[in-house]
Amino acid sequence: MKRPAGFIWLIAALCLPAASLANVERSPRPMSRPGFSATTPVAVAPTRAATTPETTPGLGTREAIRIAALAPEASRRPASRPTSLRAGASSSARGLSASGNVEFDRWRTTFRARALREGISARVFDTAFSGVTPDPEILQREAHQPEFSRPIWAYLDSAVSQSRIDNGQRMLREYRTTLEAIEARFGVEREVVVAVWGLESSYGQLRGRNPIIRSLSTLAISSRRADFYEEQLIGALRIIQSGDVDARHMVGSWAGAMGHTQFIPTSYLEYAVDFRGDGRRDIWSDDPTDALASTAAYLSRHGWQRGQPWGVEVRIPSNFNPRLANTSRDVGEWTRLGVTPQRGQTLPRSGEATLLFPAGSNGPALLAFQNFRVIKRYNNADAYAIAIGHLADRMRGAGDFVGSWPRDDRPLSRDEREELQRLLSRAGHYEGDIDGRVGSGTLSAVRDWQAQNGLAPDGYVSLALLQRMRR
């Protein structure tokens, strides 16, 4: 999960602010993932062949994207770590047989020494790595990751589809007793826990069948974030050594996320719980109890406030200062500024809230509270947090957003986002890399440019904005 626990890493399908395109950089559940901002379209990875009727994006590329976002950008492989995966002469890592790939075997020998230094027994390591070879499918995915993007409204159409709402309500009924007990213990509303379950694995249907040791080993030797994947491998070996699961049954997404709510190994070690009381924290079985409880534990540990909203859709007065977008203040101050709840909603009497325009000032406006920030610890993307909160609300019987999404907009391509950054740089607003990644620095620069040029500084990146900047 999101190190925060959260849970499928990368779905891109979930594969999203104020930009027209956001990367779904989810943490292998729970962890802090850099990610979408509420005002940006969602970058989505291709779906896997096995999708659900809910059109849930696959765990594949999305996870990889999400996971990749968790790993430090500056991560570099040591010189001893191979930079390619050519087949070659065999070499062995002590008692382990050669894989048929000389680079992999050389890395494995070095990594084995590290694992043993960090307390992994030789028996556990050798058993876990017995017969492990690089996964050619993962190598291909790593080498050819196409770029897909979807605006936030298209993302929400899928993430909070009617079928997903209906299936979530069915899960609430089917697991009512278990969910009541989890809510009583951890103080996290059952609808929120079930919403995470729904987005992360389509209520357990898409947990992943890839052997985690093989997946992480392949990523450790082929990815530029090798250090991150090695850390997850050490975590996976610790889980095996603890007896919670053996290597054969430790399966998950190709990017390394595991179980019903897609925990990465290090998040599992820190937050997973044995709610069934059978001596194992089992997030892999068909019984979702431990996984759901672990998700609740994760959210609770990060400051979930029971009984408080994640966010409230609001109306903005016509004379409102758009510079207040993406700023935080007490709900009482927002009220004094004329911000009022949309029909059918109420604002809490107190608490700090951030004003968000997920699709710019022409789309719905939200006040986001502490629980919104907690959800982002599971997956650091505004769009993901909005989807979780909105799905939970819909399962309770709430209606759709009142405000209209600007559905005629489209996300910018990578070339267009790079052009946007160059124009911002020439105007003296942006000093970051020209990499086409719309993060906080780019969004701040966009707001500065908008304010300087008489536009509402909502930070929303769109084709119309780029065309205006080209003049």
Per-residue pLDDT tens digits for 428-441:
999 999 999 888 89
Query: What's the one-letter identity of residue 433?
Result: D
pLDDT value of residue 141? 79
Radius of gyration of the chain (CA): 22
138-to-100, 177, 220, 221 alpha-carbon distances in Å: 17, 40, 11, 11
pTM comes to 0.80
User: Alpha-carbon dihedral of residues 174, 178, 183, 186, nearest 10 degrees?
Assistant: -140
pLDDT value of residue 438? 87
CB atoms within 10 A of CB 408: 9
Band (pLDDT 50/70/90 cuts) for residue 28 is: very low
Q: Does the structure show a pLDDT above 70 at 158?
A: yes
Token output for 375: 């959800």
Name residues whose C-beta falls within 8 Å of residue 471's C-beta, 6 or more positions apart in sequence: none
Q: Does the structure show a pLDDT above 90 at 162?
A: yes
Lowest mean pLDDT among 46-50, 121-125, 305-309: 46-50
- Domain ranges across the chain: 1-85+134-304+380-398, 414-470
pLDDT value of residue 110? 96
Band (pLDDT 50/70/90 cuts) for residue 77 is: very low
Between 327 and 26, name the one with better pLDDT.
327
Closest residue by Cα to residue 283 from 303, 302, 298, 304: 298
* Dihedral sign of CA atoms 354, 162, 65, 234 in order: positive
Lowest mean pLDDT among 48-57, 109-118, 402-411: 48-57
pLDDT value of residue 455? 87
Q: Does the structure show a pLDDT above 70 at 406?
A: yes
Query: What's the one-letter identity of residue 240?
Result: I
For the segment 32-49, the average pLDDT, to the nearest whole number, is 35
> How many residues are given for the chain?
471
Q: How far apart, in whole angstroms, are the C-alpha atoms of residue 65 and residue 208?
A: 16
Q: How far apart, in whole angstroms, are the C-alpha atoms of residue 110 and residue 276?
A: 38
Strands (E), 285-336: 311-315, 328-330
Band (pLDDT 50/70/90 cuts) for residue 168 is: very high
33: left (phi over 0), alpha (psi -120 to 50) or beta: beta
Token output for 434: 């020209």
Q: Looking at residue 263, what DSSP letter applies?
A: B
Name residues whose C-beta falls within 8 Å of residue 250's C-beta, 6 or more positions apart in sequence: 211, 212, 213, 236, 239, 240, 258, 284
Q: What is the mean pLDDT of the chain?
A: 83
CB 221 within 8 A of CB 81: yes
